[in-house]
Amino acid sequence: MTEDLLKRVRLRLGGPGFPGLRLVQVSMEGGLIVLSGRLATFYEKQMATELTRHVAGVHGVEDRIDVESNRSRRGSERRAAAILPEQVMGSIGDM
């Protein structure tokens, strides 16, 4: 029964629409479904939890999913923003 429930949760998380959710590890501890791993956004984390809650037979979910740091994403965005003006100015100079 436990393996069947875990399989159904994995199938739900592997469905279309949120490919990143396939990376979530699913296990069971003390009657709760435990979700763990790392996702790119808080929204994906919320979707993983909500999709799992709605699987028949799930009585509780423990969310141990980490979300990638906004700081590291902001750093990448700053680097991209710094590069972009140089590319634009280079393109204008070539005209």
Class of domain 2-68: alpha beta
Using one digit for the tens of pLDDT, what is the confidence trace for 31-41?
Answer: 999 999 999 99
Each domain of the chain, given as residue ranges in start order, spans 2-68
* DSSP bridge partners of 32: 29
Q: What Cα–Cα distance (Å) separates residue 57 from each residue in 17, 21, 49, 93?
A: 23, 20, 14, 64
Per-residue confidence (pLDDT) for residue 92, from 0 to 100? 44
pTM score, whole prediction: 0.71
CA distance 86 to 79: 11
Using one digit for the tens of pLDDT, what is the confidence trace for 57-95?
Answer: 999 999 999 999 765 555 444 444 554 455 444 444 544
Q: What is the mean pLDDT of residues 40-69?
A: 95
